[in-house]
Amino acid sequence: MEKPELELGAEFSHAAEDCLKAIFLLTQEYPGASTSALAERLRISPGAVTKMVKKLAGMRLVDHSPYRGVTLTAAGEKVALEVIRHHRLLELYLQEALGYTWDQVHSEAERLEHVLSEEMEEKIDALLGRPALDPHGDPIPSREGTVAQAAATRLSDLPDGLTATVARVQNNDPELLRYLGRLGLYPGAIVCVRSREPFSGPLFICVGDSEHAIGREVGDSVYVRPGAE
């Protein structure tokens, strides 16, 4: 899947790709990405985001309105999905082939995703056996630019007593990922919420044969599907 060339220099091209990727990911949760949410995700000023969005709109990669936020055009989504494909393939390659842990792969993939050639992408994809998911359980977009997102619910919203399977972890904080790893909350793990304290108190969960108490913020980062898969 070849992405349109962003012919404004490599520095802008990489920043533009980061912005398009962030818009796609944010719009998986909300109808449109606000400039404030983009600024927080990209860790740049709201003014810089506004300037970037105007340039991307001029390139017909995004649409922006005060009431709908920022959304991707078909061309913008194609770019975003290609960058996300690169990123998630790289994360899995770093883990499977080079021995990185799941808390280390994100930052490395962030640096490499913009420069991965189509030939290298294909070789990595073939070497890994055409994988569907990255180490955190996120779906890897296809070469054709499609992505399947299975329905999942936050662990913190799982009814007490119901058994579920961890589908994905929606957080790239290395410290949090190491903590989840110590608890065994990897994609594919079987988990159950035994009980919970009121007023944003902790969740008491079972992961396999182990019991743990976790905060609601942690529970909000873990997505599960009901049943033991």
Domain count, the chain: 2
Whole-angstrom distance, CA of residue 152 vs CA of residue 191 = 14
- 186 & 107 share domain: no
- 125 & 50 share domain: yes
- 101 & 186 share domain: no
Compute the half-sphere exposure of residue 76: CA atoms within 13 Å on the CB side of its CA: 25
pLDDT for 33 beyond 70: yes
- 39 & 141 share domain: yes
pTM over 0.85: yes
The CATH number linked to 198 is 2.30.30.90
- 101 & 168 share domain: no
- 121 & 176 share domain: no
Task: State residue 8's pLDDT score.
Answer: 46
Q: Which residues of 33-63 are buried (b: 16+ CB within 10 A; e: fewer)?
A: bbbebbbebbebeeeebeebbebbeebebbb
More confident residue, 184 or 30: 184
Cβ(102)–Cβ(135) under 8 Å?
A: yes
pLDDT in tens, 95-107: 999 999 999 999 9
The CATH number linked to 134 is 1.10.10.10
Average pLDDT, the chain: 92
DSSP state of 129: T
Whole-angstrom distance, CA of residue 160 vs CA of residue 59 = 49
